[in-house]
A and B are shown apart, each in its own frame.
Chain A
Amino acid sequence: MADIKKRIGAFLGSLLLIFAVILTILPIPIVAYSNYPLSCSDTEIASALDYLRNSQTTQGDIGGFATSAWVTMAIAAGEEDPHTWKVGSNPSIVDYLETHAGNANVSIAPDVARMILAVVAAGESPTDFGGIDFVDALKTLYDDGQIGDASLLNDDFWGIMALVSTGESASSEIIANSVGFIKNNQNDDGGWSWAINQSSDVDDTACAVMALIAAGESSGSNAITNSLNYIKSQQADNGGFLSWGATNPSTDSWAIDAIVAAGQQPTSSYWTKNNNTPIDDLLGFQNLDGSFPDWQGNPSPWITAYAIPALLGKPYPVEVLQPQEPGSVYVRVEGQSNTTWSGDVTVTESDITADNSGTTYHLLDPTALGALDEASNHEERFSYYVTDEYGGLYAKSIAGEQPGGANGWMYRVDYYSPSVGADQFILAETTPPAPPHEEVLFYYGAWTDLPLKISVNKTAVAKGEEFSVTVSVYNDTAHDWSACENATVYADHDYTTGSDGKVNITIDRDGTFNLFAEKSGCIRSDKVSVKVGTGVGSQAQVSLSVTITPAISIEVTPDSIDFGDLAPGYTSDACSITIENKGGMSVTVTAETTDQAQGLFTNGLKLDNNSWRLFSNTINVNDNLETQAELAVSLDYAGVGTKAGTLIFWAEES
């Protein structure tokens, strides 16, 4: 018995020793995901991005319109430029989103918020994307201290994240009040639901955490602490987070985002359960092709787009617009009958001389008048006459247009009519309107004239494809926009808006049309471009055909050589061989000879008077090379009769 025990003990000891040795020499640790966050070069991220890239259509979209927005965020989180994501020379995913921007329902806050987050992630302007001001659209949905539907919470979560991404101050009325609305509707268990008075769930609680943190909430506040406690209470033994009784990659992703947003490490011991972290569970869902599955188990670009930021430790919003450069502003000068100038300028301080008195004024700050002065000095310069006869500096005429009657030159900032002169309005500082200030509008008209705004639902259409134009008018009392009826829209010809401010337009000729709107008693709108032409829009179809040449290809002529009758000691006449590069790459060509004739060819074949072994030439694409082949039969060659051999020209990419 003692002998048996000893043997078993020795056996066990050996096994353990072997196991210990194997563990020691293992090149990869068994616990593979202790280094969180993952980097873009990690296989898990690279393969997920590859999956998304391979899912892109020639239209530019990946998984459709809404998913393309999420994917754009994932691409940006992966530190790649979404503008470069395209199939060949087809539209990029950003082009796709811009062309189809009208698909977003601007009356639904989460739709608008998603677009803002994606547009900012793409480095584009959310105030003018596809002819739509998504920021304005979202702000329009702010009502009674919250964003969107008063019974919903998820529109507030995403609305806050979207506004923060645009650089909106967390202390702004919309964000501050919406934060209060969210906190007031936190459930007793610390979580949130998608709507008020509903049971908490991990997904929406995670979104609430991200929104609050983005809005400046301290990670140590009661609201955040309690919400993280709720998320922790929903952690399953596999490390993931429960949703409808099981974990899934979507819930895991957002929960991880929330943990990271709150400044915690999802692989910490606190977030480890049964030796499993949330990252383990999330990565456990990843398919071999890099994708993550949806609820039915199918590979999903949508869910993959959620997982990438989470694995990279980049919660939403994945990108935030940098604060506006002081004095950087869009200037538009609307004359009596046309737009005098429009463009971006940067102004810091200005020296402006009053034309009537000759006195030069040094404006230390970037002002609205300084912006006009800067604009007048651009390449397409225009003149303006400034006077100090009324106290401050006043732009009395621009581009030769003089005031007359009740009409003259006035200015607005972000459509708001300031109560101070243009020389006293300090950009990014004076309020109202609240900074950041994006547009300074100088216009010729009456005090009562109101700004018009134009937007389109499509910026690129096929010839004959209908698109919708909306014209809004600014209300100087309510400081909001309303539909503008009977406005004239200029496109290929004139159109008139209906009572809803809309007009449908169909253009039957190719071209890029700069649409704008005018109405008596209003200030001409800015312009929005619509491209009309073949190959643009959903109705246009072009048959595409291409012949792909092989990557590497050579052709040799002739395919056999008869050197004729030769006696030992003689050399044949030269035979010309042409080698043509018919592939897509430059190639280096070498030669190889074989024979079954006692070395007749391997010893006697010459190319360009040298041994075939020395033959090496580079041939560029579509180029060819001619070489002369000779066969020298040695004096001591013993064979007789017809002899066969092979000369191979090998091509390799240069």
Chain B
Amino acid sequence: MNARILLIEDKAGLLDTLKSLLELHDYTVITAGNGEEGFAMAIRYLPDLVISDIYMPVINGYELLDKFREHPSLCKIPVLITSGKKEDDEITNAMQKGAAGYLVKPFVFVHLHEQIKKALKKER
């Protein structure tokens, strides 16, 4: 069965393009435009993996990581973080909050795909 990926990103252009790329690689993709919507979608669909931006309206990526860790059905789902910030404290903060990986924007899809495969392999 294809892995189900929840993609959370508030910029529609990037959300659509990444969705198309993931679907071309045979993933089933669910999308959300902010952290709150993403959290609700995660509870509803229980994806195999989440890819989330950090700086988004309503609930940001760090708060989302906290909420995932505290939720019994979501705490085992790997969350990959994508962000334009590459400072050590941002990366450390995300990893300490349980992120499965951190990808600095801009990135090429091949690097995102490597992290997806790694995180899914670990989960299984």
Say whether A and B bind each other. Answer: no
